[in-house]
Amino acid sequence: MPLNIKDLYGDKLAALDGHIGEVKDFYFDDKTWAIRYLVADTGTWLTGRLILLSPHAFAKWDQYEKVLHVKLHKKQIEDSPSIESHLPVSRQYEEQYYQYYGWPAYWQGDQIWGMGGYPIMMPMPPPRAGNRLAHRPRADLHLQSTRAVTGYHIQAVDGTVGHVSGLQVDDKSWVIRDLVVETGHWYAGREILIPTGRIERISYEESTVFVSLTKAEIERTAASQTAGSGGQLAKETWN
């Protein structure tokens, strides 16, 4: 089921033994478009700490009550590796984080979540003593904030067509499938969907997303997009 990321901001977070805060942001990989972390606002519970939660920890997202249930205890989260700053997140921190929880590392394997297409629990052998970081490059992780890219301009082959107003994510794989684009005056202020597969690059310096589509191609497909159940956008396949 597709979820619009902007509708999740502010939702409550519930651990197995109590409330732990609210959804503040998400970090996604701009190469695979997978959501790698939820950024939690813990309020006064863990003041001054940035808490990241992997989709591995997600349980049920109650959209009626606007609560995400997390398969962790508060003490586990409190004792997890501490990260004091925002992006960039180092690979060293990610290794410590994944080893702490015993989750399979998404960067080990050729699929979105390493050995599979979904963030599910899998057996993971313990790390060899003294060799935890020996062969791990401090790589560019391409992690970006979903809040930060909201508002970015959309640049088609032949002109600007609007700005990013949301991101639609699959609630099983936690992969962003589409950008929700507010077209402004160009297309009567309608919201349309542009698949992430048609994105050529993102310029963070220019706050712009470049897509491999002409305005005419976008307009033709936008004309076929209608409001689905619950007001969600529907789309046809881009040719």
pLDDT beyond 90 at 194: yes
pLDDT band at 74 (very low <50, low <70, confident <90, very high): very high
Report the chain's terminal Cα–Cα distance, integer Å: 23
Highest mean pLDDT among 44-53, 65-74, 83-92, 184-193: 65-74
Domain boundaries, the chain: 2-143, 150-231
Where helices occur in the chain by DSSP H, the ranges are 74-78, 91-101, 146-149, 215-224
pLDDT beyond 70 at 135: no
Give the span between the Cα atoms of 181 and 191, in whole angstroms.
Answer: 5
Beta-carbon contacts of 170 under 8 Å, excluding residues fewer than 6 positions away, are 1, 2, 3, 177
Give the residue, 92 or 226, on which the prediction is more confident: 92
Domain 2-143 matches domain 150-231 at the CATH topology level: yes
pLDDT beyond 50 at 51: yes
pLDDT for the residue 237: 44
Residue type, 43: G
Listed range (35-39, 93-97, 127-131, 163-167) with the worst mean pLDDT: 127-131
Per-residue CA distances from 146 to 37, 82, 104, 125 (Å)? 11, 22, 24, 32
Is 229 in a helix, a strand, or coil? helix
Topology given in CATH for the domain delimited by 2-143: SH3 type barrels. (2.30.30)
pLDDT for the residue 225: 63
Beta-carbon contacts of 154 under 8 Å, excluding residues fewer than 6 positions away, are 160, 161, 162, 163, 164, 179, 181, 194, 208, 209, 211
- Average pLDDT of the residues in 86-106: 90
The architecture of the domain spanning 150-231 is Roll (2.30)
